């Protein structure tokens, strides 16, 4: 297995919000990045997002035009996993939070990658041990749970599976620091640390709304002004995606068999109705007409 300081070639699976953010972060730190997605349209959109985020950094005088050009030049887009992972030192999977999809991807990665390639997943709740079990290298499978927006947020949860070795864990911890991140090690239990604490809070906020205790803006205002949260929990749920929140809660409810993790019926119905938050144009706030919440979300990204 290569040492962190000899790692130069990275593959990122998935060009969505998390995937393009992870690719951006590695590329800006000087790594050669293969950004892989089955959809050309998703790759184009992902690269456009990276370019837009780099332009924001230029406007804030954090980087130069030359830095932007170098970062973009460090990224190659591909639609084939097999071609995209040849010779890479690390793969970071950032596909949709769906267990069957992730297991299928890791089976492909295990077959296509070199024996010493580390396989990481950006899952926010799914068992690292379960993912690792479909590979022939469970000792080299680990969780790298980046926070959104990836180029800005400092935290990376490093989750070791049951068989993940100390050497792999230490390598990824140190590698994360080279990206300017603060890695925090956690063990493999549903939701890990961040979402095990965050999602019940969001769910309880939705229950508070569902029970008629207070309105959306009132709940968010209490948490922002009373608890010094930068964004209210309902607005944060919109930002994360209500479907993602529901998926994480279902994983924890299934994993712990504890009713306190059961998703609120209001959340379930909103997801069924396609009200997923910012990405669908409507969640707890209406982003198609009322731009106030969206503007606050944009301020959070500054």
User: How many other C-beta atoms lie within 10 A of the C-beta of residue 168?
Assistant: 22
User: Is the peptide bond prior to 149 cis by the omega test (within 30 degrees of 0)?
Assistant: yes
Indicate the angle between helix axes 194-210 and 242-256, nearest 10 degrees.
110
Residues marked active site are found at 124, 145, 157, 195
Label residue 288 by pLDDT band (50, 70, 90). Answer: confident
pLDDT over 90, % of the chain: 92
* Per-residue pLDDT reduced to its tens digit, 31-58: 999 999 999 999 999 999 999 999 999 9
Number of H helices, E strands in the chain: 14, 8
* Per-residue pLDDT reduced to its tens digit, 69-128: 999 999 999 999 999 999 999 999 999 999 999 999 999 999 999 999 999 999 999 999
Q: Residue 68: phi, psi to the nearest 5?
A: -60, -50
* Per-residue pLDDT reduced to its tens digit, 222-252: 999 999 999 999 999 999 999 999 999 999 9
- Contact assessment for residue 186 and residue 196, using Cβ atoms and an 8 Å cutoff: no
């Amino acid at each position: 297995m290569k040492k962190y300081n000899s790692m130069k070639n990275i593959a990122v699976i998935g060009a969505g919000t998390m995937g393009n953010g992870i690719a951006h972060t590695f590329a800006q730190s000087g790594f050669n990045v293969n950004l892989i997605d089955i959809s050309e349209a998703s790759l184009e959109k992902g690269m456009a997002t990276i370019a837009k985020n780099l332009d924001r950094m230029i406007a804030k005088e954090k980087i130069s035009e030359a830095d932007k050009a170098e970062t973009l030049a460090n990224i190659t887009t591909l639609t084939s996993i097999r071609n995209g992972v040849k010779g890479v030192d690390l793969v970071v999977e950032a596909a949709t939070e769906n267990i069957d999809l992730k297991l299928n991807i890791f089976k492909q990665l295990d077959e296509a990658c070199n024996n010493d390639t580390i396989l990481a997943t950006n899952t926010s709740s799914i068992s690292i041990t379960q993912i690792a079990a479909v590979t022939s290298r469970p000792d080299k499978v680990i969780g790298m749970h980046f926070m959104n927006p990836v180029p800005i947020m400092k935290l990376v949860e490093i989750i070791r599976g049951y068989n993940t070795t100390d050497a792999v864990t230490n390598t990824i911890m140190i590698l994360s620091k080279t990206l300017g991140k603060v890695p925090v090690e956690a063990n493999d239990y549903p939701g890990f640390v961040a979402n095990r604490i965050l999602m019940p809070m969001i769910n309880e906020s939705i229950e508070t709304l569902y029970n008629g205790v207070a309105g959306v803006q009132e709940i968010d205002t209490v948490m922002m002004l009373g608890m010094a949260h930068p964004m209210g929990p309902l607005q944060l749920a919109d930002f994360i995606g209500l479907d993602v929140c529901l998926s994480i809660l279902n994983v924890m409810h299934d994993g712990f068999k504890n009713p306190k993790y059961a998703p609120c019926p209001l959340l379930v119905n909103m997801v069924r109705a396609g009200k997923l938050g910012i990405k669908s144009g409507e969640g707890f706030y209406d982003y198609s007409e009322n731009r106030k919440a969206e503007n606050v979300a944009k301020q959070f990204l500054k």
